[in-house]
Amino acid sequence: MEHFIDAAPGIRLWAEDHGAPDAPPLLLIMGALAPGLGWPDELVALLAAQHRVIRYDHRDTGRSTWAYDEQPYPLTALADDALAVLDGLGVTRAHVVGMSLGGMLTQLLIADHPDRLLSATLIGTGALSDTPYVHPDGTRTPSQELPGPDPQVMELWSQPWTDQGPEAELDRRTEHWRALAGDRLPFDADYFRALERKIIAHTGHHTPGDAHARADTSGMLRTEQLARTEVPTLVVSAPAEPVYPLPHAHHLTQTIRGARLAEIPGMAHALPPEIHKALATEILDHTAHH
């Protein structure tokens, strides 16, 4: 069922839910510049077997309000939007799954609003902590020196966007997914092209947003709060991850109190059909215990 939720003055968010209305709620938070449909229907259906699954469009994506130039905001406001979605749908507490920037927003919720979370799952993200990463041999790497995105991904992100029409934009987005999908699993270009075609139809235009890349990133660290949290947290480790490569997932488990690590074989920074069952199984096992 579709919903439109007023999150702030002049900001309306699109959301939808799947599954039994009385099932335990599970909120999906997508990454930067990505709408809720970035969570594939097939994965949502697997999760909806046990949950009321909620996905939504960040502001400046999909069918939500696009107004960054008129109403600029910090990235932390996107965590407030997640709470607004829960409030708008009458959800007091939820399991929350965040990917990439969505994983950072989930950490903000863990730190600032633990009473609203039943559990948290973090995918393809980095820790909002300045504690060093401790290697198995006991040596330490400062958090700011952990490896960054793959050069191929950085090259794609650095290219200026020009409007060459919808089909050319689909080509560009498909190649972007190819870089994010890593090299451990076969890449299905038709699958990701169809996903992006659906996203463009949902959005109503093919112009990509850049608001989240321009938003103020200050005030994100939550070192102390994450170190003492009681929110049960699952960290998904993706061995082919090109945006937050290892050891970011291990660093997360060190900085978030009680966090548990689960590796999804072949996974990178994308959600292809080959990993849906394994990922859903890990998430559902985590939520079932909390």
Class for domain 2-148+209-288, per CATH? alpha beta
Q: Which amino acid is at 99?
A: M
Q: What is the pLDDT of residue 166?
A: 96
Q: Which residues contact 232 (CB under 8 A, 6 or more apart)?
A: 118, 119, 120, 258, 286, 289, 290
- The chain-wide mean pLDDT, for the chain, equals 97
Average pLDDT over residues 7-35: 98
What tens digit of pLDDT does each residue of 82-104 get?
Answer: 999 999 999 999 999 999 999 99
Percentage, residues of the chain above pLDDT 70: 100
Note the pLDDT of residue 167: 97
Stretch 34-48: mean pLDDT: 98
The predicted pLDDT at position 2 comes to 97
Q: What is the pLDDT of residue 191?
A: 98
167-200 pLDDT, tens per residue?
999 999 999 999 999 999 999 999 999 999 999 9
Tens of pLDDT, residue by residue over 146-163, are: 999 999 999 999 999 999
pLDDT at 127: 98
Question: Would you state the structure tokens that stand for residue 137, as one six-digit string?
Answer: 């041999």
User: What is the percent of the chain with per-residue pLDDT over 90, rounded to a whole number?
Assistant: 100
> Average pLDDT of 205-227?
97
Q: Give the tens place of pLDDT for each residue, 235-281.
A: 999 999 999 999 999 999 999 999 999 999 999 999 999 999 999 99
Short-list 73, 74, 92, 75, CA closest to 83: 92
The set of long-range contacts for 173-181, using a CB threshold of 8 Å and a minimum separation of 24, is 173/208, 177/270, 179/150, 179/152, 179/153, 179/242, 180/153, 180/242, 180/243, 180/268, 180/269, 180/270, 181/240, 181/268, 181/269, 181/270, 181/272
Show the 3-state SS of 84-126: HHHHHCCCCCEEEEEECHHHHHHHHHHHHCHHHEEEEEEECCC
Dihedral sign from CA coordinates of 144, 29, 72, 114: negative
Whether the CB-CB separation of 132 and 142 falls below 8 Å is answered with: yes
Phi, then psi, of 102 in degrees rounded to 5: -60, -30
Give the bridge partners for 233, in sequence order.
120
**Structure confidence by residue, pLDDT tens digits, 135-146:** 999 999 999 999
Torsion, CA 38, CA 159, CA 100, CA 19, rounded to 10: -10
